[in-house]
Structure 1
Amino acid sequence: MRILVVSDAWFPQVNGVVRTLDTLRAELLTAGHDVVMVTPDCFRSLPCPSYPEIRLAVKPGRKLRHLIEQAQPCAIHIATEGPLGWAARRYCLRRKLPFTTAYHTKFPEYIQARWRVPLRLSYAVMRRFHGASSRIMVATQGVEDELARRGFRNIGRWSRGVDTQMFQPRPHCKQADGPWGDLPRPIFLYVGRVAVEKNIQAFLDLDLPGSKVVVGDGPQLDDLRRKHPEIRFAGAHFGDDLARHYAGADVFVFPSRTDTFGLVLLEALASGLPVAAYPVPGPLDVIGDSPVGVLSENLREAALQASQIDPTLCRQHALTFSWTACTSQFLDNLRPFEPLVWDLPQPA
């Protein structure tokens, strides 16, 4: 099956959406499917206000139509609600083509955190965008329940996985020559975008023993470095290097209240790190009542209690999440709908 995926989030961005889509593409190709990615690098683009690493396609309609018709896919999946997502939605509605969407990001909460736009207005826009979708794919039951309460319909599950070969316990990374060898222990780690919507300040303000470290890049990085010289900001790391930084820490602290899943939670658990987080969607779905983390409105107490958890339990929990199963879920969300039929006029 040829599947066309439209996404405003793509490399060189570093976030859970990009990693998810890149892994999905690889898994689909391995399973014998053909995948066409339509992303901002195919278009003239401008930096997103206040988030310049995100590129926004400029007037993508005509070229987007050409790319879709050239591919003649069996299914169209619109991954994001940006300029490309809206343009693809318009094209599909005009041609009466079914398409699926995904709810990766709580944009209403992000927009409220940055520009104070009321949630009711942003969610109205999101309902309009996803309302025409044959299936809205979400990662967790918590997000599904929340969207259903806000009037969304046709919701289906598309979970997430983790590369347990790359992310695994590495005892040598906790030694003096490891990534955090010069820091007092225990080491409390955050990995992710350094941005206001991630609520990182709540982690930085915690009174904890040992050391706090932040791995990631984003618009708040320079400001937080200036305000917190006592905290190690390591910048962005990738691949095996990122896995070493996880494995060298002791506890993973996840202060976000707005993530729809939190892929970093699985990466931390696979690396043998217990998790401390708020009891909100994402952590509730990944951790739940399992003994691999502590969810509490008192994030300090959660972090201290998490430091007593057996790392072996964390690894075992992460092993229950596979990308193969996630890809099967994605395909199951496509299969109820007839493959697209293309009756384009032939060139003279």
Structure 2
Amino acid sequence: MRQAYYNGIIHTGKSTIEHSAVLVDGYDVLDIVPENAIPEGFQQIDVQGNHIAPGLIDLQIYGGNGKLFSLYPDVSSLVATEQYCKAGGALYFQPTVATHEPALMKRALEAYRQYRDAGGRAALGVHWEGPFLHPQKRGAHVEKYIRRLQIAEAHELVSYQDALRMITLAPECCDQQAVQILLRAGIRVSVGHSNATYQQAMQAFSETGIRLATHLFNAMSPLQTREPGLVGAIFEHPAVYASIIADGIHVHPACIRISKALMGERLFLITDAVEENTAGTYVYLRQQDRYVNQEGVLAGSTLTMLKAVANCVQLMDMALDEALRMASWYPAKAMGLDHQIGLLEAGYRSGLIVFDERFQLLYRSV
């Protein structure tokens, strides 16, 4: 449906505009025009002075609306997760599967293919978080399924390159040539759940070619006086993007402010959200504003992307425009999709959202 959203504060991702209307047709951004020049044939929506922004992008979420895709990977779980994401402002998402037996992780890829072939557009592809992790940094991941990435398996995974968008791995636990096979196939590789030294991490970035890191600070070797670790390498390498969980629990707000000052547009937001699950390989128990496993280990958030933006503004004293970019344009850049999504510009397929001063979602174009 062709719609014109007007009488709002328009955050394009590059500038802030007023007295204009955003013309969209579902995901497709058609134009931004003066309010008095809205063409005929558009449903006009007066947003009453509220905020208009590109659809947000969540690159790490395990499930939603009562369905845990990470453990029960089927099309219905994907659709439920899409609904959760959209209700929280994310019009695009990357369904994520935690370390598990190979058959289940591959079922997630087949489920994505079925979803896509049935017309699903919101899911960008599957994110495997694991199983190629460092056991000492496994967090809530199940140790018995953790293994080393070998060349033969990397070649096998290339056959899923249409569905497998990203893999989080520990580079010190993987064959470097195997990682490069994935990268050459267009599969994004992200460093995470890693105990890499600073030297190992810089080698992974500068020589192997990895350009992403998963949930900065969490489950990675820290920055210390005599060993800068993975965190130090992420800060220093100018081409590496990192996700961060801005729920005020996974990472202290001051650490997010410091990281933002050091990294600029290389830092972007994710939810790391899960759903409650009381049986099976992964148990997620909700404790107010977080999820823990049966041992009490922090296992996921209750965030939406719009709530993460709100936290950046309210807890980290960030400008709204920049917080929105961290949830839209910057994750698009990290994935090489910034020519397609993440901005409100003619020709983009970002969709749009409208929210109020309390960060409540009012409208979305899809």
TM norm structure 1: 0.34
User: Which fold has the larger relative contact order, with Cα–Cα distance below 8 Å and residues 6 or more apart in sequence?
Assistant: 2
More helix by share: 1
More strand by share: 2
TM norm structure 2: 0.33
